[in-house]
Amino acid sequence: MAIAVPIHDFTAKIEHIVRHRELFPDFAATGCAFVVSAVESLSEVVLARLEKGHTRADVQGALDVLRRAGIALRPSFVPFTPWATIGDYLELLDWVTSEEMVDQVDPVQFAIRRGSPRRGFAERSQPRASWALSSEKQRAGTKHPCQLPDRFAG
C-alpha cells in the first residue's frame, strides 16, 4: 500500500531559493508542488529601482534549482513600472514562452494593475519617478497615494 504524500507549496524570495538550493530536493520529497516568488521583472534597471535584491541571472538560477528538484516556479511580475520599456515587456513574454512557463504564470501577471509600490520603496526619492506623495499624505501614512479623477470616484 502506497503512502500518500500531501501536496504543498510556499512563497520564497529568489535570493533565498538560490542561497538554499540544497534544500529543494527535500522539499520536493515532502510534496512541494510549486514555489511562488516575486520575480517582478527581468530588467536589471527595474529590479534595481524596486530594490528586489536579485538579478535576472538569479531568477534563472532559481528556476534551474527548482526544476532540478521537480518543483514549478510560480512567479509574480510587475511588468509596468515607470522604468520599464516595451522591450522589457516583450522580453518577459519571450522568456516565459522559451522557458515553457506559460501554464505556471497567472494571466493577471502580464496585466497593468493600478497601484503604487509600498511605502518605503526607493521610488519616492528617485527624481525620475512619475508620482510623489504630498507631505500631508506622508504624515497620514497613506499606502495608496494614487489620485483618480472625479469621474472615477465612487
**Residue at 60 is within a domain:** yes
Q: What are the residues whose beta carbons fall under 8 Å from the beta carbon of 98, sequence distance 6 or more? A: none
> Does 15 share its domain with 73?
yes
Q: How many domains, in total, are found in the chain?
A: 2
117-145 confidence digits (pLDDT tens): 555 555 444 544 444 444 554 555 545 55
Residue 144 or 28, more confident? 28
Alpha helices in the chain (DSSP H): 14-19, 24-29, 44-49, 56-69, 86-98, 135-140
Residue-wise pLDDT for 7-22, tens only, equals 899 999 999 999 999 9
Burial 112-122 (b: 16+ CB within 10 A, else e): eeeebbeeeee
Q: Are residues 23 and 69 in the same domain?
A: yes
Whether this prediction's pTM lies above 0.95 is answered by no
CATH code of the domain covering residue 28: 3.30.750
**Amino acid letter for position 112:** I
Q: What is residue 112's predicted lDDT score, i.e. its pLDDT?
A: 85
Residue 3 lies in a domain: no
Q: pLDDT tens for residues 76-119?
A: 999 999 999 999 999 999 999 999 999 999 999 999 876 655 55
- What is the mean pLDDT of the segment spanning 60-80? 97
The per-residue pLDDT for range 145-154, each reduced to its tens digit, is 555 444 444 4
Same domain, 55 and 96: yes
Q: What is the CA radius of gyration of the chain?
A: 19
User: What's the mean pLDDT when you consider all of the chain?
Assistant: 83
- The set of cell numbers assigned to 15 is 535570493
Is 125 contained in some domain? Answer: yes
